[in-house]
Amino acid sequence: EPEVTQTPSHQVTQMGQEVILRCVPISNHLYFYWYRQILGQKVEFLVSFYNNEISEKSEIFDDQFSVERPDGSNFTLKIRSTKLEDSAMYFCASRAGLWTYEQYFGPGTRLTVT
């Protein structure tokens, strides 16, 4: 069964450093998302992406964040200068098409900023 994959599973970085989180959405899916979950809290929407453009972004997704689909398979989230409060689990999700609404989540990347 096709699934969303993410790398790395765990990333430790120092405050102020740049990190890139990688995702491979389900093949042939057209809509891509990043969510994050701070330990013990609910899942929060960061950004949605379609047709090589950001469709929507949340207040959390400020100028320090960017997303990119550099090729036909990868979808990346970059945090330019990490802060302690960026420590969280980051989930990538994808959905198939315009009239299918199910979003499938990847296993997540645990980001720890020290």
Partner 1 sequence: QQPVQSPQAVILREGEDAVINCSSSKALYSVHWYRQKHGEAPVFLMILLKGGEQKGHEKISASFNEKKQQSSLYLTASQLSYSGTYFCGTRYNTDKLIFGTGTRLQVFP
Please enumerate in sequence order all residues whose Cβ is within 8 A of that of 56, keeping only pairs 6 or more positions apart, or say none. Answer: 47, 48
Q: How far is the CB of 78 from partner 1 (least distance, A)?
A: 20
Q: How far is the CB of 16 from partner 1 (least distance, A)?
A: 27
Q: Which of 44, 60, 66, 78 binds partner 1 (CB under 8 A)?
A: 44
CB 81 within 8 A of CB 18: yes
Q: Which of 1, 14, 27, 42 binds partner 1 (CB under 8 A)?
A: 42
Residues that bind partner 1 (CB under 8 A): 31, 33, 35, 41-45, 48, 50, 55-56, 58, 91, 101-108
